[in-house]
Amino acid sequence: MDLDGYMRALPKAELHLHIEGTLEPELLFALAQRNGVRLRYPSVESLRKAYEFEDLQSFLDIYYEGAGVLRTERDFHDLARAYLQRAHADGVRHAEIFFDPQTHTSRSVPIEAVIEGLTTAFREAEKEWGLTTKLILCFLRHLSEEDALETFDRARPHLDHIAAVGLDSSEKGHPPVKFRRAFAKAKAEGLGAVAHAGEEGPAEYVWQALDELKVSRIDHGVRCAEDAALVERLKREKVPLTMCPLSNVKLRVFDSIEKHNLKSLLEAGLRVTVNSDDPAYFGGYVLDNFRAAQSALDLLPEDLAALARNSIEASFLPKAAKAALVAEIEALKP
Ligand code: ADE
Ligand code: ZN
């Protein structure tokens, strides 16, 4: 098997994926037409051309605008189905998927339509492809904690569909501690917790996510490298980092993939994983991220197997399901 076939065949879990970030321009235009939404771009090509970002905020502005075409349960189903089909083709066996309810409820789209649409597609993917999923409800950190608490109350009747809460959107100036009560409430209901930290924000936000929000994974976390004591802690406590190399280059966290610290942190013994973040905007799905990291950082087959194993072990899957997938990884020869 060549290296590309090996990367595809490795059983992988995708743990950092915003479903709204999988909205490809073609589907965006089709949904705009279906829902009678006027767009300020004349064509798919002109929209794609606008995907040049200076930083996280310049991306988020266009990402929230794009999400405006998502109106009905069917739209959320079609969005999730398209992603899951693509993930299946990349050898993703399990996906833990973020959604941003506030982006939709603020436009009067009921949270029920969002959750029903997504979970219908999830059930189809499991039945047709054996691809399992979990749903993670993210709070938008640029909004208030009161808004997050209200959102959690709206989600309360649907908690059987939700595995964990997360924290995303504009990082700078919005420290994790702002959401301490919202995370405590979610944890009291038995949900897991993850948070974006150390993407654009400082290493201090990673400490806060661990200590104040009690998260079990850090999304991105690349800026941990600026704090040796933090790196030591992440290693000691085996805290997974859900890294997204193509995203980090598109949003100028690193100048190039060659400069990405994924390999050095993997070699330092951290539980690094590879993910796609917002693939429709950043130029690649999970296998594209593996390919880019492999060639730029000269990752060896054992590095690739470690990344895949880390993703399975860092997931919220039950022990037996993890063991079965890890055994498949061990048995796969490059
Ligand atoms: N929402 C979607 N993608 C994001 C990212 N990379 N960082 C923060 N919030 C996001
Ligand atoms: Zn993200």
Residue 199 alpha carbon, nearest atom of ligand 1: 7
How far is the C-alpha of 222 from the C-alpha of 243, rounded, in Å? Answer: 7
Whose atoms come closest to the Cα of 60: which ligand? 1
Cβ–ligand 1 contact at 168 (below 6 Å): yes
pLDDT tens profile 316-330: 999 999 999 999 999
Residue 91 Cβ inside 6 Å of ligand 1? The answer reads no
**Average confidence (pLDDT) over 44-52:** 97
CA 261 centroid distance within chain:
18
pLDDT at 178: 98
Determine the average pLDDT of the residues in 176-180: 98
- Give how far Cα 37 sits from Cα of 29, 41, 78, Å: 9, 12, 17
Which protein residue's CA is at the shortest distance from atom 6 of ligand 1?
A: 277
Q: Whose CA is nearest to atom 9 of ligand 1?
A: 169
pLDDT tens digits, one per residue of 133-170: 999 999 999 999 999 999 999 999 999 999 999 999 99
**Are 269 and 310 a contacting pair, CB within 8 Å?**
no
- Which of the four pLDDT bands, split at 50, 70 and 90, describes residue 295? very high
Report the percentage of the chain scoring pLDDT > 70. 100
Contact between 229 and 209 under an 8 Å Cβ cutoff? The reply is: no
3-state secondary structure of 251: coil
For residue 122 the two structure tokens come to 């999830």
Query: Cα 250–256–261 angle (5° rounding)?
Result: 105
Ligand nearest to the CA of 23: 1
**pLDDT tens sequence across 75-84:** 999 999 999 9
What is the Å distance from ligand 1's center to 255 Cα? 18
The mean predicted confidence, pLDDT, of the chain is 98
Regarding the beta carbon of 18 and ligand 1, being less than 6 Å apart is answered yes
* 170-208 per-residue burial string, b: 16 or more CB within 10 A, e: under 16: bbeebbbebbbebbebbbeeebbbbbbbbbbbbbbbbbb
Distance 205 CA to ligand 2 centre (A): 15
Separation of CA 331 and ligand 2 centre (Å): 31
Q: Which tokens sit at 238? A: 């085996």
Ligand 1 atom at shortest distance from the alpha carbon of 169? 9
The model's pLDDT over 69-109, given as tens digits with 9 standing for 90+, comes to 999 999 999 999 999 999 999 999 999 999 999 999 999 99
199, 252, 253: which to mutate for ligand 1, most atoms within 8 A of CB? 199
Beta carbon of 96 within 6 Å of any ligand 1 atom = no
96, 171, 199, 200: which one is catalytic? 199
Give the closest residue (by CA) to ligand 1 atom 8.
Answer: 169
Question: Which CATH code fits 3-326?
Answer: 3.20.20.140
The radius of gyration of the chain's CA atoms, rounded to the nearest angstrom, is 19
Query: Does residue 219 have its Cβ closer than 6 Å to ligand 1?
Result: no
What does the domain layout of the chain look like in residue ranges?
A: 3-326
pLDDT of residue 1: 87
Percent over 90 (pLDDT), the chain? 100
Q: What is the mean pLDDT of residues 179-193?
A: 98
199 as an active site residue: the answer is: yes
Cα of first residue to Cα of last residue in the chain, in angstroms, is: 6
Quote the CA–CA distance of 272 and 219 in Å, as a whole number.
10
- Calpha distance 111→117 (Å, rounded): 10
Spatial neighbors of 145 by CB under 8 A, at least 6 apart, are 178, 179, 180, 181, 182
